[in-house]
């Protein structure tokens, strides 16, 4: 997946310090929605938990402590490989649906 990067915004934000990079990706497209649906249950639950905690920090105008902040080595791309896989499948499906029959 290429395109827009949020690395600098996530690193600069105190409120996003408890989230992984892929947590910031919103489920606004069919590809990301499908990738999130393919997450193992435990990873999906952890994603939702991290987002709820970040939202609570935002509501209470507090910042994650060093103990609760995500460390750089813990920030793994858990969703991006699934997004790439789903995008390839969607592209393949689109290509297949656009095949024109030349038989008479």
pLDDT at 54 over 80: yes
CA distances for 59 relative to 2, 31, 32, 62, 63, angstroms: 32, 30, 26, 8, 10
pLDDT at 97 over 90: no
Residue 66, pLDDT score: 82
The candidate with the shortest Cα–Cα distance to 46, out of 2, 11, 79, 81, is 79
Residue 43, pLDDT score: 95
DSSP code of residue 61: T
Rounded distance, CA 45 to CA 55, Å? Answer: 15
Both tokens of residue 50? Answer: 């991290």
């Amino acid at each position: 997946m290429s395109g827009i990067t949020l690395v600098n915004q996530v690193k600069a934000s105190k409120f996003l310090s408890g989230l992984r990079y892929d947590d910031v990706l919103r489920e606004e497209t069919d590809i990301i929605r499908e990738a999130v649906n393919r997450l193992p249950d435990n990873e999906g639950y952890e994603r939702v938990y991290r987002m709820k905690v970040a939202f609570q920090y935002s509501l209470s105008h507090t910042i994650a402590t060093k103990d609760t902040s995500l460390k750089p080595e813990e920030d793994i791309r858990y969703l991006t490989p699934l997004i790439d896989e789903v995008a390839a499948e969607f592209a393949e499906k689109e290509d297949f649906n656009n095949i024109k029959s030349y038989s008479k």
